[in-house]
Amino acid sequence: MKSELDLAIIGGGIIGVFAAWYARKQHPDWHIGLFEQGLVGSGATFYSARLDIPYGHTPLRYQLAQRSRSLFAELRKEMPELPIKDLPFYGIVQEDNAQLVLLQLVDNNARLLPEIIPSLLHDHPLLVLPQHAAVISGATASQAVNNELVNLLAKNFEVTPNSLIIEHTKIVTVTTLEDIFDLQSAGGNYFPAKRVIQATGPWMNEILGTGLFASQKTRIKKIVAFHIDKQPLAGDPLFYFFADDAFLMPKYEAGYWLFSFKCDHWDVVPDINTLSIDEADIQKARGILTKYFPQLVPLCSVGRVFCDTYTPDGNPIIERAGDQSKYIIAGAGSGSGFRLAPAIAEAALDYYNQ
Ligand SMILES: Cc1cc2nc3c(=O)[nH]c(=O)nc-3n(C[C@H](O)[C@H](O)[C@H](O)COP(=O)(O)OP(=O)(O)OC[C@H]3O[C@@H](n4cnc5c(N)ncnc54)[C@H](O)[C@@H]3O)c2cc1C
């Protein structure tokens, strides 16, 4: 590389790609490089269900969800070809928790409507409502139907001569000298940069030499979602089960429903060859599904698996690495990094605008 980069982004997942996208918009003159050890979008982002629900159960997540919502809306206006579609939202919640959940929903149309229950059950006869369940409706969720969102953003980022995407290049060490970061790749090349955003997803702790210890201790957790072999109908909604932190999402184009639930398998390695769906996952998923959609239980056996970085409080990390003022860590999606990505990327770049 001839000259130093104004910004190097390490990691080409949804957060890194959004960081590149907004950096290009905010700083048209910057020389920006996006480094990815594999192919853009091939990490946690590839396996994601890509669901965006208007919800934030901590103040930071609420704020990021609200901001991401408006950034996604702007983006959809700018690029109508993006493969994102809206889904009607049904939140199944315990009666005594319903008011709190309503407050945490980032959608003014969300309502607790007990009177819709008969019509809901009429339209979705397989749904069983547990005792003391309430239903929240009126809000809208959205779903990126495939990985094209990441690819389109990356493609559009790369249309200027000072935007580079460097794939199959793993950054192994970062050293600093006189305000310049030197990124060394596994192949022995050096890439100097004035600023760095590290968005390496579940590989967050692997780069050496930057003293980048995030203020929260992170752990990597397996994520599993089952594919329920039943064709959804056009217009079918998303069912979100708040008491179980699970959801059932129609994947109309793909011809199945996706059932995601909270898997408690911690401290895994982000390597698809070592991750698999096991009997405990199947039993847990079937147990939750039995409560709400018992007739779908026999169809719950295969699915997708990967992992994500989690923080103890579930908040993403968007902070300076140690005492480095121009090295920003952005990630720890805690299972929601896809939907919060635009706001996480924007907040990471804000450090350079202060
Ligand atoms: C099964 C599953 C379902 C999910 N469903 C949802 C959902 O419905 N909604 C939602 O919001 N979130 C969901 N998530 C979580 C979401 O996918 C993640 O939070 C999000 O994709 C994280 O994005 P990221 O950019 O931080 O990480 P990644 O997508 O993992 O990107 C990081 C990238 O950095 C690269 N990299 C790592 N180290 C280096 C290095 N040293 N040098 C160069 N490159 C490097 C990796 O190859 C990778 O491509 C789900 C996750 C899984 C696994």
**Nearest-atom index, ligand 1, CA of 143:** 8
Q: Give the pLDDT confidence score for residue 3 in this predicted structure.
A: 81
More confident residue, 253 or 207: 253
Sign for the pseudo-dihedral over CA of 225, 228, 234, 235 = negative
| Distance from the alpha carbon of residue 122 to the mean position of ligand 1, in angstroms | 38
User: Which class for 354: exposed (0-12), middle (13-18), buried (19 or more C-beta within 10 A)?
Assistant: exposed
Token code pair at residue 91? 């939140």
Q: Give the pLDDT confidence score for residue 217 in this predicted structure.
A: 82
Q: What is the pLDDT of residues 142-156, one digit of tens each?
A: 999 888 999 999 999
Q: What is the pLDDT of residues 168-191, one digit of tens each?
A: 999 999 999 888 999 999 999 999
| Distance from the alpha carbon of residue 148 to the mean position of ligand 1, in angstroms | 15
**Percent of the chain residues topping a pLDDT of 70:** 96
> Given a cut of 80, is residue 36 above it in pLDDT?
yes
> Given a cut of 90, is residue 119 above it in pLDDT?
no
Non-local (6+) Cβ contacts of 64 within 8 A are: 56, 316, 340, 343, 344, 347
Mutate to test the pocket of ligand 1, among 40, 71, 151, 200 (most ligand atoms within 8 A of CB): 200
Which residue, by CA, sits nearest to atom 12 of ligand 1?
Answer: 336
pLDDT band of residue 216 (cuts 50, 70, 90) is confident
CA 86: distance to chain centroid? Answer: 17
Q: Give the pLDDT confidence score for residue 212 in this predicted structure.
A: 61
Q: Give the pLDDT confidence score for residue 214 in this predicted structure.
A: 66
| Distance from the alpha carbon of residue 202 to the mean position of ligand 1, in angstroms | 7
Please state the three-class secondary structure of the chain as a single string.
CCCCECEEEECCCHHHHHHHHHHHHHCCCCCEEEECCCCCCCCHHHHCCCEECCECCCHHHHHHHHHHHHHHHHHHHHCCCCCEEEEEEEEEEEHHHHHHHHHHECCCCCEECHHHHHHHHHHCCCCCCCCCEEEEECCEEEEECCCHHHHHHHHHHCCCCCEEEECCCCEEEEEEECCEEEEEECCCCEEEECCEEECCHHHCCCCECCCCCCCCCCEEEEEEEEEECCCCCCCCCEEEEHHHCEEEEEECCCCEEEEECCCCCECCCCCHHHCCCCHHHHHHHHHHHHHHCHHHHHHEEEEEEEEEEECCCCCCEEEECCCCCCEEEEECCCCCHHHHHHHHHHHHHHHHHC
**Nearest-atom index, ligand 1, CA of 338:** 11
pLDDT band of residue 324 (cuts 50, 70, 90) is confident
| Distance from the alpha carbon of residue 272 to the mean position of ligand 1, in angstroms | 12
The whole-number average pLDDT for the span 211-235 is 87
Q: What is the pLDDT of residues 58-101, one digit of tens each?
A: 999 999 999 999 999 999 999 999 999 999 999 999 999 999 99
Q: Give the pLDDT confidence score for residue 211 in this predicted structure.
A: 62
Which residue, by CA, sits nearest to atom 21 of ligand 1?
Answer: 45
Provide φ and ψ at 285, rounded to 5°: -60, -45
**Nearest-atom index, ligand 1, CA of 51:** 8
**Nearest-atom index, ligand 1, CA of 336:** 11
Which residue, by CA, sits nearest to atom 25 of ligand 1?
Answer: 13
Q: Any residues with Cβ below 6 Å from ligand 1, and which?
A: 10-16, 35-38, 42-45, 47-51, 170-171, 199-203, 206-207, 223, 225, 304, 306-308, 331, 333, 335-339
Q: Give the pLDDT confidence score for residue 354 in this predicted structure.
A: 76
| Distance from the alpha carbon of residue 326 to the mean position of ligand 1, in angstroms | 23
Question: Domain-by-domain residue ranges, the chain?
Answer: 1-50+147-218+311-354, 95-140+219-308
Token code pair at residue 159? 């249309």
What is the distance between the alpha carbons of residues 237 and 223, in angstroms, rounded to a whole number? 22
Which residue, by CA, sits nearest to atom 51 of ligand 1?
Answer: 48
Q: Give the pLDDT confidence score for residue 56 in this predicted structure.
A: 95
- Nearest Cα to Cα of residue 148 among 79, 68, 218, 55: 79
Task: Among 69-73, 229-233, 299-303, name the one with the lowest average pLDDT.
Answer: 299-303
Kindly compute the dihedral angle of the four CA atoms of residues 254, 271, 204, 351, in this order, to the nearest 10 degrees.
-30
Q: Give the pLDDT confidence score for residue 329 in this predicted structure.
A: 94
| Distance from the alpha carbon of residue 177 to the mean position of ligand 1, in angstroms | 30
Relative to beta strand 111-112, strand 51-52 is unpaired
What is the distance between the alpha carbons of residues 69 and 63, in angstroms, rounded to a whole number? 10
Q: What is the CATH number of domain 95-140+219-308?
A: 3.30.9.10
The whole-number average pLDDT for the span 218-246 is 95
Burial 128-144 (b: 16+ CB within 10 A, else e): eeeeebbbbbbbbbbbb
- CATH fold, domain 1-50+147-218+311-354, is FAD/NAD(P)-binding domain (3.50.50)
Q: Give the pLDDT confidence score for residue 124 in this predicted structure.
A: 86
| Distance from the alpha carbon of residue 200 to the mean position of ligand 1, in angstroms | 8
The whole-number average pLDDT for the span 205-225 is 81
Q: Give the pLDDT confidence score for residue 35 in this predicted structure.
A: 98
Residue 111: Cβ within 10 Å count: 14
Mutate to test the pocket of ligand 1, among 35, 170, 203 (most ligand atoms within 8 A of CB): 203
Mutate to test the pocket of ligand 1, among 48, 171, 198, 240 (most ligand atoms within 8 A of CB): 48
- Nearest Cα to Cα of residue 296 among 126, 60, 125, 77: 126
> Given a cut of 60, is residue 1 above it in pLDDT?
no
